């Protein structure tokens, strides 16, 4: 049964057909006077667009009233049948409409019909005339219950310069420049519309994110231009495997968002595996060489598992990360994590508290001594941050720093810590301070400008500052870290590598970084009195550091036995609760450090 067409379908089929959906086409004596049902409230009264219904059993074409004037033909009979209209088509395009019907005849009949969109030129005054029109013909062919071609319903538009410019602008606003797929904005709009429709129709759909694997290797080996070619080819390969009505768009650099209509949990995996196999089997010809690619895919069912675009994105990306952690060419469906929503709300709350504390000047410094192993005096103090709650309670950094770093707030925290530290140095000319900076700050030129501004570039202040960067951050981008360290050294600061031993930094890299101090990770210190392997490890690190002219600091020193082992090994500084609890920066005074029992380890 041919479905009714009350308005334009997604292929542009016109509303108001010349016969009812379930009945055969009726005889039409005058193709124009009988087309009143196609009026569409004058929507096609414009001179460059007209609608039609082509009865494929009788070859009769019923046109909108403006067709004769728009096409510039002699009269209505000239375009009243498919055969008559075909005589107007320019010879070089004569095969396009017959090929369209042949393709439709081979198509699998379904309730959505056969969508088409072709372009050709016609000569309105006859085949031998000089004038011609370029046309775009878009619509849908419908089938009878027996699967035979029944009729075509479409729209013919004149392709003039204005139309071409409109199409270019429309494509540019909707499409990703590299792949030609929907851009991120349009993909998100389509996802929102699908979520709303699925909720109303109670018909599940799927949202997937597919990521091209190994892009870093491809870009490094062949160049970014070839990498772009691979991304575009993968997008085309996935699109070729979509069904009618499914949607693909480029979500980010190497990621595509895919919307699968009428898709439940079982079909979700089947669809993902279809895409993965298509990409895996595709040999991509690039300007450099033939390359094979794979994709990882994460997905979920909507609206069952996501009721908003943001949820769909977050959950699909979460599933994608799980897929990438397994192996290449892997699909993972989203699985809700118990307590995830509670954790998300907690993190948001912590982020809000951090921002408010910075704005309301409720960040506080406490100082932990770094004791000279030879003199027993606190030569340096490390700045530790605390957040003061509105009720006066202090929150340790461990409760908010990890969340703040995940949410990109570490730059704000580092700048506030810097301001507080410099203020303290200016008030106490005998004080030497060590302060940590995050990985983001190591690439933050604004932080360096802030350092110069708040210190006034005074060498007497800068020389009493030690900037600590963690070992893992230092090796992530060694060139960037070298530039950061060199800039600090030029300003007059000293630099330390924190948590040394937790990562994979070699002493060769330490030499390249030109740091002044190595802080040995506390996990190797806390059991040194009883663990022979820790004793050997720390002694080796201290000897190598001494060879490179570096001072060493042992963190997490908790008892006198550990102190003896560390001093015997040649450590330069000792830091931990054995030498006292951190003191409020406001209470700082040059007083001897008195050992205290260690209640716990930082």
- Domains of the chain: total: 3
Whether residue 8 is contained in a domain is answered as no
Which residue among 169, 203, 221 closes a domain? Answer: 169
Confidence label for 186 from pLDDT (cuts 50, 70 and 90)? confident
Quick check: 358 and 416 in contact, CB under 8 A?
yes
Q: Per mean pLDDT, which range of 134-138, 170-174, 574-578 is the poorest? A: 170-174
Quick check: 211 and 319 in contact, CB under 8 A?
no
Q: So what's the pLDDT on residue 496?
A: 93
Taking the whole predicted model, whether its pTM rises above 0.75 is answered as no
Same domain membership, residue 567 and residue 465: yes
Q: So what's the pLDDT on residue 468?
A: 93
Same domain membership, residue 282 and residue 388: no
- CATH no. for residue 201? 3.30.70.270
Same domain membership, residue 100 and residue 199: no
Both tokens of 310, joined, read: 């943001």
Whether residue 155 is contained in a domain is answered as yes
Residue recorded with tokens 């003191």: 583
Cβ neighbours for 544, distance < 8 A, ≥ 6 positions apart: 507
Which residue among 110, 138, 169 closes a domain? Answer: 169
Quick check: 133 and 121 in contact, CB under 8 A?
yes
Give mean pLDDT, residues 431-447: 89
Quick check: 56 and 50 in contact, CB under 8 A?
no
Both tokens of 264, joined, read: 């439940």
Whether residue 598 is contained in a domain is answered as no
Whether residue 315 is contained in a domain is answered as yes
Same domain membership, residue 540 and residue 424: yes
* 155 SS3 class: strand
Other C-beta atoms closer than 10 Å to the C-beta of 42 total 10
- Give CA separation, 468 vs 287, 381, 493, in Å: 46, 12, 11
Give mean pLDDT, residues 229-241: 94
**557 has a pLDDT exceeding 80:** yes
- CATH no. for residue 108? 3.30.450.20
250-264 residue pLDDT tens: 998 899 999 998 898
Q: How far from chain centre, in Å, is Cα 384?
A: 34
Q: Please tell me the distance from the alpha carbon of residue 280 to that of residue 589, in angstroms, as a whole number.
A: 67
What percent of the chain shows pLDDT beyond 90?
Answer: 53
Same domain membership, residue 508 and residue 393: yes
Whether residue 16 is contained in a domain is answered as no
**162 has a pLDDT exceeding 70:** no
Element containing residue 451 per DSSP (H, E): helix 445-455
Cβ neighbours for 531, distance < 8 A, ≥ 6 positions apart: none
Quick check: 378 and 589 in contact, CB under 8 A?
no
Same domain membership, residue 390 and residue 507: yes
Whether the bond into 303 is cis, omega within 30 of 0? yes
Residue scoring higher pLDDT (467 or 506):
467
Same domain membership, residue 152 and residue 52: yes
Same domain membership, residue 133 and residue 196: no
Same domain membership, residue 219 and residue 147: no
3-state helix, strand, coil in the chain (%, to 5): 45, 20, 35
Whether residue 160 is contained in a domain is answered as yes
Same domain membership, residue 287 and residue 364: no
- CATH no. for residue 401? 3.20.20.450
Give mean pLDDT, residues 387-391: 92
The dihedral of CA 214, 218, 224, 228: what is its sign?
negative
Range of the domain at 291: 175-333
Cβ neighbours for 284, distance < 8 A, ≥ 6 positions apart: 229, 230, 233, 234, 290, 291, 292, 293
Same domain membership, residue 533 and residue 440: yes
Give mean pLDDT, residues 399-423: 89
73-114 residue pLDDT tens: 999 999 999 999 999 998 888 889 999 999 999 887 877 889
Give mean pLDDT, residues 354-378: 93
Q: DSSP letter for 33, please.
A: G
Same domain membership, residue 313 and residue 259: yes
Whether residue 599 is contained in a domain is answered as no
Q: Please tell me the distance from the alpha carbon of residue 172 to that of residue 184, in angstroms, as a whole number.
A: 12
502-551 residue pLDDT tens: 655 556 667 778 899 999 989 999 999 999 999 999 999 899 889 888 99
Q: Alpha-carbon Rg of the chain, whole angstroms?
A: 36
Q: So what's the pLDDT on residue 202?
A: 86
Which residue among 169, 184, 205 closes a domain? Answer: 169
Element containing residue 525 per DSSP (H, E): none
Whether residue 594 is contained in a domain is answered as no
Q: Please tell me the distance from the alpha carbon of residue 161 to that of residue 167, in angstroms, as a whole number.
A: 10
Which residues make beta-bridge pairs with 209? 257, 298
Q: How far from chain centre, in Å, is Cα 281?
A: 26
Phi-psi region of 298 (alpha: psi -120 to 50; beta: other; left: phi over 0): beta
Q: Are strands 465-470 and 494-500 parallel, antiparallel or unpaired?
A: parallel
**18 has a pLDDT exceeding 70:** no
| Strand extents, DSSP E, 114-243 | 114-122, 133-143, 149-158, 205-212
Q: So what's the pLDDT on residue 3?
A: 37
């Amino acid at each position: 049964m041919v479905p009714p067409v009350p308005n334009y379908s997604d292929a542009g089929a016109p509303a108001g057909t010349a016969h009812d959906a379930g009945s055969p086409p009726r005889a039409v004596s005058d193709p124009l006077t009988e087309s009143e049902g196609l009026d569409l409230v004058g929507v096609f009264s414009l001179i460059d667009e007209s609608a039609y219904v082509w009865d494929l059993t009788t070859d009769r074409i019923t046109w909108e009233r403006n067709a004769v004037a728009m096409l510039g033909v002699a009269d209505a009979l000239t375009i009243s049948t498919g055969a008559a209209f075909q005589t107007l088509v320019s010879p070089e395009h004569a095969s396009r409409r017959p090929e369209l019907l042949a393709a439709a005849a081979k198509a699998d009949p379904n309730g959505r019909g056969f969508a088409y969109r072709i372009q050709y030129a016609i000569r309105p005054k006859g085949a031998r005339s000089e004038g011609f029109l370029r046309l775009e013909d878009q619509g849908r062919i419908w089938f009878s219950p027996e699967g035979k071609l029944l009729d075509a319903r479409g729209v013919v538009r004149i392709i003039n310069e204005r139309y071409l410019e409109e199409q270019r602008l429309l494509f540019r606003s909707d499409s990703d420049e590299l792949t030609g797929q929907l851009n991120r904005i349009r993909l998100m709009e389509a996802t929102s519309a699908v979520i709303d429709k699925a909720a109303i129709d109670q018909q599940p759909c799927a949202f997937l994110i597919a990521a091209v694997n190994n892009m870093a290797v491809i870009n490094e080996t062949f160049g970014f231009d070839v990498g772009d070619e691979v991304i575009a080819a993968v997008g085309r390969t996935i699109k070729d495997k979509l069904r009618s009505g499914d949607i693909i768009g480029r979500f980010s650099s190497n990621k595509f968002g895919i919307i699968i209509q009428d898709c439940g949990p079982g079909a979700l995996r089947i669809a993902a595996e279809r895409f993965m196999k298509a990409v895996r089997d595709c040999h991509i010809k690039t300007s450099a060489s033939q390359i094979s690619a794979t994709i990882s895919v994460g997905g979920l069912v909507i609206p069952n598992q996501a009721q908003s675009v943001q949820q769909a994105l977050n959950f699909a990306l979460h599933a994608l990360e799980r897929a990438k952690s397994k192996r290449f060419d892997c699909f993972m469906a989203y699985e809700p994590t118990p307590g995830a929503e509670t954790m998300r709300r907690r993190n948001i709350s912590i982020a809000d508290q951090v921002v408010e504390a910075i704005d309301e000047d409720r960040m506080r410094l406490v100082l932990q001594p770094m004791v000279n192993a030879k003199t027993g005096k606190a030569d340096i103090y490390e700045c530790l941050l605390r957040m003061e709650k509105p009720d006066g309670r202090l929150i340790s950094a461990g409760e908010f720093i990890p969340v703040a770093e995940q949410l990109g707030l570490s730059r704000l925290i580092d700048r506030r810590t810097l301001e507080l530290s410099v203020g303290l140095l200016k008030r106490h000319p005998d004080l030497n301070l060590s302060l940590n900076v995050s990985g983001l700050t190591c690439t933050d030129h604004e932080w360096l400008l802030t350092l110069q501004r708040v210190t006034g570039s005074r060498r007497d202040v800068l020389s009493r500052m030690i900037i600590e960067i963690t070992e893992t951050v230092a090796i992530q981008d060694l060139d960037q870290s070298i530039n950061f360290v060199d800039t600090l050294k030029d300003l007059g600061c000293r630099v330390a590598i924190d948590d040394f031993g937790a990562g994979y930094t070699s002493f060769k890299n330490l030499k390249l970084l030109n740091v002044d101090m190595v802080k040995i990770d506390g996990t190797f210190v806390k059991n040194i009195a009883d663990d022979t392997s820790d004793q050997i490890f720390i002694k080796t690190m201290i000897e190598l550091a001494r060879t490179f002219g570096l001072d060493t600091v042992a963190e997490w020193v908790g008892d006198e036995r550990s102190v003896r082992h560390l001093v015997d090994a040649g450590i330069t500084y000792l830091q931990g609760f054995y030498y006292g609890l951190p003191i409020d920066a406001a209470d700082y005074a040059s007083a001897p450090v008195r050992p205290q029992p260690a209640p716990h380890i930082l």
